[in-house]
Structure 1
Amino acid sequence: MTGCGTKIENAYDTYSTDYINGYNGSNYFASNLCVTNDVNFGQDNMQFAKTAEGAGAFNIDTHQVLYSQNLFEKLYPASTTKILTAYIILKNCDLNATVTVSHDAANPGHSSSVCGLKEGDVITVQDLLYGLLLESGNDAAIALAEYCSGSAEEFAKLMNSTAKSFGATNSNFVNPSGLPDENHYTTIYDMYLIFSNAISLESFVAIISSQTHDAAYTNAQGAAVSKTFKNTCGYLTGAYTAPENVTVTGGKTGTTGEAGHCLVLLSQNAKNERIISIVYKADGKKDLYSFMNEILSGFAN
């Protein structure tokens, strides 16, 4: 592929099986994607649209964009970052392998969301994934990144190359957890691309659809430790109820001061069509779920 007379290295192969799961060899790159431009639509009569910076809804079975609100604006993803982290681990690592939690992983920073790991804990990759996606543990994110790539910094390089392979070219990741950094950002549309690849993995869907997970591991002294990881998604905790005819499968939350309240969600409508819906930078948790319900009731059916 060339542009302006110069060869573009690593250009996308528009007739490749490498980027989108489910490609059957007879369609081009975007044939299985929900494709749109940067024009917003769907905000009319949406009471809570003004409470969030960006949002989108995508029917991944009919390949339609159902709702569009600043889909291509660069936003902070907070812990929805962990969707990409989990995808990479599930694709590259042995879930039964054990990981020894490092000092850095056990101390991810003040006010971090953690699942309670201590330095020297020995825990399986699978249990770490549940701690990552259910409890949104930044400690689990660092432990997994170090196990996979040797360091969180090296893992971030893998995150960026993986995101670009999905077509998510307006994103940049510098850590596996979503801790605030001005160089750590994505867009609603890029997160749709990342999440749609993640949910192609049955193991990923099994995790995000779990209300709780009982983890059993050992501490630095070899003593047994038992811990129950609980899902932070309000639909799975029962704190919020989805609209009629919408069945929530699961999703990933994220919250920081810079990112606001975020939610990436997978659900099914009455026709059993799969819907990805995303809200970023909502003013508060109640507004987040109220807005998500407006999107689902107005556009998912």
Structure 2
Amino acid sequence: MTYYKQKGKKKNIKYFVLVLSSLLVCISAIFLLKNIMDEDITKIKSPIKSQDPVISNNINKTLNTNSLYSSNAILISLDNNEILLDISSNEKIYPASLTKIMTAILAIENSPDLNKLILLPKSMFKQLYSKNASMAGFLPNEKVEAIDLIYGVLLPSGAESSISLANSISGSEKKYVKLMNEKAKELEMNDTNFTNTTGLHDKKHYSTVKDISKLLKYALKNDTFRKIYTSKQHTTKATNLHPNGITFQSTMFKHMDKSTVNKGTILGGKTGYTEEAKLCLASLAKVDGKEYILVTTNANGSPNTEQLNILDAFAVYNKIP
């Protein structure tokens, strides 16, 4: 009887060990599956970054970059060219209407007479209307001064203004784009290629937020560009089709109740949007007596939704120590 009892006990022990081993395997599998699911959920909730955020030690104490809506961002102090925030700044993006910063600065540099009248040809409008391009409000066969077209490029983001300037200066948009790419090369915008003056989507039309920051830094050195870029609104001179002129509003300022931030003010900005580029913004602010530029791209939404690109600008500028 003793022998059979011992044998039974051994069988029970073996059975217990087998059950325990199986249970541990199941628990391990459950934890592994949970980790995989959590990783997938994280990928869905936040865009994949090509690089980890690089943040100045000072701003790192106050800014939570995970709270930003934009997947690409760069913040630069114009006082000493220090990069205070860098989130995937070298990652290829579609610049949308941030393109018009280049269009505008080249128009200023290549127009010997900014009061010259430029005819907006009727043939140009049909294609722009079909592509739902953003327009300043000029009409076919309208004659407009070059300076007012440049305001039309930067404030209401007018595609008709951009192409009219290109045609007047270079003879065609294609030839003007060649000037844009030559200037990009001069500014060492090595990851940029332009195919148009408007930022309308094209897979071969791309840049990075770092390259756009180089462009904006350069353009802001021009007094005429800076004056237009920092304007909240502008009324054009009378034209043959608008005897009272047209009053433009900045596409950035019209979405802002105020422009003040902690210890400073947002001075100006250029917005951008296409379905592929999402919401973009290149802005300038003065905080505690120093100027900063911030370029952000790829925030969800559209011009008809909450402007998350502008919310990001306030979030970043408010956290500058």
Q: Same fold, TM exceeding 0.5?
A: yes
Give the match for residue 125 of structure 2: 106
The 1-side partners of 2:67 and 2:151 are apart by: 31
- Superimposed CA distance per residue, residues 250-285 of structure 1 (whole angstroms, 9 cap, x where no aligned partner): 010011111100000011110x21101011011134
Q: Name which of structure 1's ranges 116-125 and 105-114 shifts more when overlaid on structure 2.
A: 105-114
Distance 1:121 1:232 in 2: 23
Q: For residue 249 of structure 2, what is the aligned residue in structure 1? A: 230
Overall identity of the aligned pairs, in %: 29
Which deviations, in whole Å up to 9, do the C-alpha atoms of 1:81-112 show, x marking residues without a partner? 10000110111102111100012433324211
Deviations 1:276-295 (A, max 9, x none): 10110111343222222222
Runs ≥4 residues deviating over 2 A: 42-49, 103-107, 216-220, 236-243, 284-287
**TM-aligned CA deviation for residue 137 of structure 1:** 0.3
What value does the CA root-mean-square deviation take over the aligned residues? 1.9
1:216 is paired with a residue whose SS is coil
1:86 alignment counterpart: 104
Which residue matches 1:275? 292
Q: Which amino acid aligns with 1:119?
A: P
One-letter amino acid of the counterpart of residue 83, structure 1: I
Q: What is the rounded CA distance, in whole Å, between the counterparts of 2:198 and 2:167 in structure 1? A: 12
Counterpart CA distance in 1 for 2:201 and 2:260 is 30
Code of the residue aligned with 1:149 in structure 2: it is S
Q: Name the structure 2 match of 1:41.
A: 54
**Mapped contact 2:279–2:307 kept (Cα < 8 A):** no
Segments of structure 2 that go 5 or more residues without pairing to the other structure are: 1-50
Report the 3-state secondary structure (helix = DSSP H, G, I; strand = E; otherwise coil) of the residue aligned with 1:105.
helix
Q: Does 1:255 align with 2:268?
A: no
TM-superposed deviation, 1:130: 0.7
Secondary structure at the aligned position of 1:83 is classed as: helix
Assess if the C-alpha contact under 8 Å between 1:46 and 1:294 holds in 2.
no
Secondary structure, counterpart of 1:74 in structure 2: coil
1:224/1:297 CA distance change after superposition, 3 Å = closer
Alignment of 1:1-301 (within 5 A): 40-42=53-55, 45-49=64-68, 51-93=69-111, 94-107=113-126, 108-110=128-130, 111-219=132-240, 224=243, 226-234=245-253, 238-239=256-257, 241-270=259-288, 272-284=289-301, 285-298=306-319, 300-301=320-321
Does the Cα contact within 8 Å between 2:219 and 2:225 map onto a contact in 1? yes
Looking at structure 1, the residues matched to 129 and 190 of structure 2 have their Cα atoms a distance apart, in angstroms, of 29
Contact 1:199 1:205 in 2 (8 A): yes
Larger radius of gyration: 2
Superposed displacement of residue 115, structure 1: 1.0
The normalised TM-score by structure 2 is 0.76
Residues 56 and 66 of structure 1 are in contact (CA less than 8 Å); yes or no, is this contact kept in structure 2?
Answer: yes
Q: Secondary structure at the match of 2:207?
A: coil
**What is the deviation of 1:225?**
5.1
- Taking the aligned partners of 1:146 and 1:70, their CA distance within structure 2 comes to 35
Shift of 1:75: 0.4
Residue 247 (structure 1) shift: 1.3
The separation in 1 between residues aligned to 2:105 and 2:83, in whole angstroms, is 23
Residue 164 of structure 1: how far off its partner (Å): 0.9
Over 3 Å counting, the alpha-carbon distance change for 1:120 and 1:268 in structure 2 is same
TM-score (norm 1): 0.81
> What letter is aligned with 1:252?
K
Are 1:48 and 1:290, in contact at CA under 8 Å, matched by a contact in 2?
no
The structure with the greater share of residues assigned to helix is 2
Query: Which has the larger displacement, 210-219 or 261-270?
Result: 210-219
Q: Which runs of 5+ in 1 are unaligned?
A: 1-37
